[in-house]
Structure 1
Amino acid sequence: MIKPVYIRSARAICAQDTFTGNCLPKELTDAVNNALSYNHPDYSRYFSIMQLRRMGRLTKTGMVAAIECLRDAGISHPDAIITGTGKGSMSDTEKFMGNIREFHEGTLNPTPFIQSTYNSLNGLIGLHHGTSCYNTTYVHRGFSLEHSLLDAMLLFSEGRAKNALAGSFEEMTPEHFIIKKKLGYWKEAPVSCMDLLRSGTSGSISGEGTFFFLLQDSESNAMARLDGIRILFEPTLQELTVEAGRFLKEHGLAWADIDILLSGENGDIRFGDYYKTISAEIPERAHHLAFKHVCGEFDTAAGFALWQAAHILERQEVPDVLQLRKGTAGNIRHLLIYNNYYGKQHAFYLLGV
C-alpha cells in the first residue's frame, strides 16, 4: 500500500473568488446560461504586459496558482511537477485549428499551437522557477487529477522525491460548451447554482478550474494528510459500495469513522443513485457536503473538492453553503471525497489530520 502524503499548501482559481483569501467567499457567483466561468485574479501583479500578450487564458491561471502554491509552502524548486487535465487549453487549440483553416495551412502563429499542448503549462512552471525536475502531465479525462496525485505518492514511496507540485487545470470555451450540450452534458433550462442539486432533471452546469497542491513526505506544517486514493471504472452500485468499504478497511477505518463525506453531486438525475448509495453508508453524525453547485462540472472538478477538504481539515470549519446534511461531528479527523465523472470514472480520496 502506498504511504500517506501531506498537503503543505493548496491554491484554487475557479468561478468563485477563491484566490483572494484562499478560501470560499461568503457571496457566491451564480451560473450564467448554465455555465460558471473563471473569476480571474490580477495577472499584472505577476507578469509584464508583453508576457501577458503571449499567454493563453489557461496558461495565466495555471502559472499564478502554481506560483502562489509554491510561495505559500516556502519552496521555489520542487522535486517534481505533476499535473492532470482532461482537455488542456481548449481556447488555444481552437485558435490554432481556426488559423489552419483561415490561412490554408500556410504561415501560422506558433504560440497557440505551443500552448495547446497538454504539457505546455508544466514546462512554463519549470522555466519560471528555474528547475529541471521530474515533470509529467496526465490526460485521462475524469481520472487525470487522480493519476497526477498517485504518481506523486509513488515518487515519495520510492524515495525519489520529498515534495511535489501536483495539480490540475481545465477550461470551457463557448464552442466546446455547445458541443457538450448537444451530447447531453448540460441542462436544457437555465438553473441557478443553489437550485442545481434539487433540479431533478438530466444534465448539469459547466465549470472550469485550476488547482495546485504542494505535497510532501513529512507532516511538518501540513494542512492535511492524504491517506490514499481509489479509482474505479464503470462499477455497478454493489461494486462501488464493496470497493469503498474495502478502501476504508485497508486504512484501518470503517464507515462509522467518517466525519465528512464530500461528494460530487452535479444535479444530473441519471447519476444520482451512485451518490445516494455512498451517502447511505456514512453515520448520522457525519456531515454530508457537495461542491459542484459551487464550481460546476468538468473533468478535474475533484481538484476543487481536494482544495476545500484540505482547508476544512486545517481550520476545522465546514462552509454552510456546501452542506447537504448537517451532522453533529465536531472534531473532524477523517474526510472522504467521492466523485464520479458522468458515471464512468469514479474516485475516492481519504484525508485525515
Structure 2
Amino acid sequence: MTLKSFFCLVCSAVLLSGCWDIKEIEDVGIVTGLALDVSEEEQLLMINQYVKPGQIPTQQDSSQQDSPYQNLESTGTTLFEMIRENSLESNRPPNYTHLKSILFSTKLLEKEPLNQLIDLYIRDHEFRRTVPVFITMDPVQKIFNAQPEKELFPSIQIKELSENYHKNNTNPKNLTIGDMSQYISEKKSFIIPGMAMINGNIKSYGAGVISGETSQYIGWIPLEKMEGIRYLHNNVEGGYIYLSEKDITDGPVVLEIKGANSKFDVSLSDGNLSMRVDVEVTTSLGEDWGVDRNVFKTGWEKEIKKAADKDIEDKVDVILQIAQKELKTDFAHLSQWVRIHQPDYWKEHKEEWDEIFTQMDIDVQADVSIKDFGTQNFNME
C-alpha cells in the first residue's frame, strides 16, 4: 500500500465514522415546558415537562396507552440547584433546547422579581431567547397536568394558543424571554400573556402586568378588557367588532377587522404633556342580524360607524384608566412616543416618567371604515 493510499484510508475512516457522540432519543431528557411557582414551604417550585418517547402515538398505531409526558417537580432556593436535583429522580438529564414555553405563577412573581428569576435563562446556552413566556393566576400544576384535546403536551398547547393573536384581539401578542430581558434592562413595565384552566380546558385569559420599577407582578388585565391594549401597542391584525342592538338600531352586526393602524402625537404646552391617539380601523361587514337594514341605501353605515368608533375609544380608555389610575405604570409603552416627539423633554424627565404618565391627558379618536360586504365584496366607495 502506498503512502497516498494509506492517507486516503485514514481520512475515510475519520470522515465516515458517523456521529460519534450520538445519543438515542430515549436517553435524552427532552423538556418541552417549564413552570415556576411557590411551594407549600414557600420555596421555589419548578416543574419540568419531559417527553416520554415510547408513549407518543404513531400514524400506524394511534392508540395511546399512557400520557406522553411526565412532570417532575423540584423545590429549592435556586433554579440551578433544582435542575441538578432532577438527576435524583431521572437518569435522563434535562435538555432545554426544545423548550416550547415557560409558565410563571402570579404568586411567585408577587414574591420574587423577574430579573432574578430569568438570570439562568439568559446565561445558559440551552435556553433560547425566542421561547415564549406566560403567566397564570392558577397553580402551575393545574395547567401542566391538563390533558389537552388537540395537542399531546400542555406546554405546547399554551404556545399554540398564543399564536392566535392575529385572529382575536383579546389575545396579547407573544412575549419571549428576549423581549422580557430587554424590558427589564430598560426598566419598562410590560404585560405577560395569561393562561387559565376554564371548564377543564387551557385557555388564553388576559394578561399579567409587571412593574418596570420592581420587576414584579402588580395586577391583572381581564380577558374582556384586553382589546384596548392591542390598539395602544399598534399590533391589531384581525379580530372583530361586535355591536349589539343597544348600540345600533335594526339589529346587531359584526364587523371583521381587516387592518388597523394607531398614530400617536405628543404636544407640550407650558411644561405639560398631552397625547392624541388616532386609531384607524378598516373593516368589512362580517355578519348582519338586521333584517330590515338596507345596505344599498346611501349612508346606511353611518350609525354603525359611529357606534364602532365609540366602541374602540371606550376599550382604549378602559386600558388607560387601568394604567394611569389603578396600576399607575405605563405598560402600554406610550413613553416611546414621548421620546420620539419630544426628545428634549424626555431626556430631562425620563426618570420620573411613571408619575408624569399618570397625570398626562390622553385623547383617543377612532375612525372605523366599512369597505365591503365580506365575500360578496360590493365595493362601497
Which has the bigger relative contact order, CA under 8 A and spacing at least 6? 1
Rg larger for: 2
Q: TM-score range with shorter-chain normalisation?
A: under 0.3
**Structure that is richer in helix per residue:** 1
